Chains A and B, each alone.
Chain A
Amino acid sequence: MYKLKLASAVIGLSIASSGFAATDIEWWHAMGGANGEKVNEIAKAFNDSQDAYTVKPVYKGNYTETMTSAIAAFRAKKQPHIVQVFEVGTASMMSAKGAIYPVYELMRESGQSFDQSGFLSAVTGYYSDQEGNMLSMPFNSSTPVLYYNKDLFAKAGIQNPPTTWEEMESVSQKLLDNGVKCGFTTAWQSWVQLENFSARHNVPFASEANGFGGLDTKLTFNGPSQVAHIEKMSEWQQNGIFSYGGRRSDSAPKFYSEECAMFMNSSAGYAGIKKNAKFDFGVSQLPYQGSAISEPKNTIIGGASLWVLQGHKKEEYKGVASFLSFLSRAEVQADWHQFSGYLPITRAAYDLTKGQGFYAQNVGTETGVLQMTSGTPTPNSKGLRLGNFVQIRDIINEELEGVWAGQKSAQAALDEAVKRGNVLLRKFERANK
């Protein structure tokens, strides 16, 4: 009797496990540390919410490593279902038509209800095609903001952070007069001082609507307003108002050590600043040129989105689609936004966070959202879609460093950067015809 029971239990179990075996969905991401643990938590919440699919998040290193390994895996036909790709890789992903499964198509073909209008247009614009269809699912987005040292401001008798570049100069001068070593520094110089500067002042960074209109785009960031801005910054580099602190976010120590009173960096840098700054700091919107425009446009985003790759079974894509729906739920989004410091992606997540009183408790965390959603995005502020953009940014870094070192004029450096960058755009056009 006992043996029979045992046998039936074993048979029953084996049937159960074969009948209800969950389909695995692999998700390669680049979120290390605390954010990585949060990613695992999100996947677990999804896996617990149903039993048809199991999402398996795999950490693959930094953004470039993740993208490179996904591409290598695709070439070897071992690609994951979902991969997280940073914003500068967008053009490469988009052009790989046989490799990606556009999110809007995936959602439609898997019968998932999917409302694009619930997403913030400044975020989805970056990842949509010309017709406005979302090609990838935004996941972690950020935008540059201005951080300022409230203690140093108080010491110099300054009440409000500067809102225009003109005020940037006068406020910095006042700080310098009060013994501060440098007015401001910047991280990600190409992203903040050229890409976002152009968007905010509604001037094109590249032709063909910043590359959204086609692969035959040409760089145009050597226009008069960008040149004037870089010219001014090079002057400030000489007199201490601006101090260059290196590529990526290498300049952060200048702000932490109170050498510079202001710092332009990603809104996602909030947590890092909170941890490292031994002073009271505030967050404000990026300045604009008051003499040129009366109202700035929205800033553009950085960060990454989730791309779905081709080559899997239809059944598995159903799971991918339901996971992406789960990800865009307001409570999942709001939790991720509040935990990581990345921007909310849907209107509902923003409202939910606001309703929970998060912005009131964490002053400054709303700045990025407000700045990014101010006004309707124009072709100049929708985003950038340029091939070989990683290398183009390198070229921009190289040329700008020549300006900061006083070896080149702003005009000459930007002209050269445009010329060298265009060669790379033509190469990309040729390879992706």
Chain B
Amino acid sequence: MSVYFPHKKLPYLLVLPQLVITLIFFLWPAEQAFEQAFYQEDAFGLSREFVGFDNFVYLFNDPQYYKSIWVTLVFSFSVAFSGLAIALWLAVMADRVIRGKLTYQTLLVWPYAVAPALAGVLWWLLFDPSMGPVALWLQYFGVDWNHFLNGDQAMTLVVISATWKQISYNFLFFLAGLQAVPRSLIEAASIDGASPFKRFWTIVFPLLSPTTFFLLVINLVYAFFDTFGVIDATTQGGPGVSTATMVYKVFNDGFIGLDMGSSAAQSVVLMFLVGVMTVIQFRYIERKVEY
């Protein structure tokens, strides 16, 4: 027997606020970016010229742009992977703590309140090759730390600054997820003689998979879109173009360089790329998730 609701209009009325918000804050700006991508105009918008696909042609004829796609992939997957791994490890540890649990958990959540650009500046200070304590400590151990010249080190630095902030967020979700794992299952396994390691990988980790999948999507989106502040405050995309991610280029070309056409074209490419990635995630990875 199916339940029947007599109201035809009410459901639409109820979702209306959500639709309006999506329309105004998501679809409309996206449409604007899409339109802008086919124009070239001066900074003040005094003259506007329809250029067809010129902005895209220019983009894909630029070897630097392909580099930035590669940089983005390396950066985003490093951020998502290390963010998830460290947060999971911390959550498992925090879940086992009995005394001072609340203090410990609260402290771990704190970094989330720090603004991305500020986080960038903090790490920039810690790793400054001449004055930063971490850099001096690394040099003491024979690591020649100079992210102003070494592209891999610069990448490491931006990955650390971008990840650090996200760990708190991931931690919260993992902790909640862990607390939802039935105790009885774990107890049964330990009675059967499974080691803590084995218990984690065969019981806890698979049961956490919905949380992990959700966080993977969120973290990748964060790394793709939300990290230009960190990069601007630490490396400005350098040395060379070794930390110039796609979203940093969108920000830099659009807001600093005032080249709206190219910036818009780049955001369209970025939107497309993230769209494809999300589809892949939901089609292939989500199948492995056990709800």
Contact = CB atoms under 8 A, between A and B. Distances in A.
Interface of A: 64, 67-68, 71, 74-75, 92, 95-99, 244-248, 250-251, 253-254, 256-257, 259, 388, 390-391, 394, 397-399, 401-402, 404-405, 407, 420, 423, 427, 430-433
Nearest to B130: A253
Contact of A64 (B131, B149, B241, B256): B256
Contacts of B286: none
Contacts of B64: 420
Given A96-B44, A431-B40, A397 B238 contact: yes
B42 A432 contact: yes
B252 interface: yes
B241 A398 contact: yes
Contacts of A246: 148, 238
B134 to A, nearest CB: 14
A159 B208 CA distance: 70
Interface residues of B, number: 34
A433 B42 CA distance: 9
Contacts of A405: 149-151, 239-240
23 contacts: A74-B45, A92-B42, A96-B43, A99-B46, A245-B129, A246-B238, A247-B238, A250-B128, A253-B130, A390-B258, A394-B237, A394-B252, A398-B237, A398-B239, A399-B240, A401-B239, A401-B240, A405-B151, A420-B64, A427-B58, A431-B41, A431-B42, A432-B42
Contacts of A257: 130-131
Contacts of B149: 244, 401, 404-405
B252 A430 contact: no
A68 B258 CA distance: 8
A404 B259 CA distance: 29
B211 interface: no
Contacts of A390: 256-258
Residue from A99, A246, A397, A405 whose CB has the most chain B CB atoms within 10 Å: A246
B49 interface: yes
Interface of B: 40-47, 49, 58, 64, 128-131, 148-151, 236-241, 252-253, 255-259, 261-262
A394 B40 CA distance: 21
Nearest to B253: A391
Contacts of B253: 391
Contact of A388 (B44, B151, B239, B257): B257
Contacts of B46: 96-99
Given A92-B43, A99-B46, A401-B149, A254 B130 contact: yes
Contacts of A256: 130-131
Contacts of A397: 236, 238
A92 B41 CA distance: 12
A187 B88 CA distance: 42
Contacts of B261: 431
The 10 closest A-B pairs by CB, nearest first: A401-B239, A246-B148, A391-B257, A253-B130, A96-B44, A253-B131, A99-B44, A254-B130, A257-B130, A64-B256
Contacts of A253: 128, 130-131
Given A245-B129, A388-B259, A427-B259, A398 B43 contact: no
B53 to A, nearest CB: 15
Contacts of B256: 64, 68, 390-391
Contacts of B45: 74-75
Given A74-B44, A99-B46, A394-B237, A92 B258 contact: yes
Given A75-B44, A96-B44, A432-B42, A68 B255 contact: yes
Contacts of A71: 43-44, 258
Nearest to B128: A253
Contacts of B262: 427
A103 B262 CA distance: 32
A247 B236 contact: yes
Contacts of A92: 42-43, 258
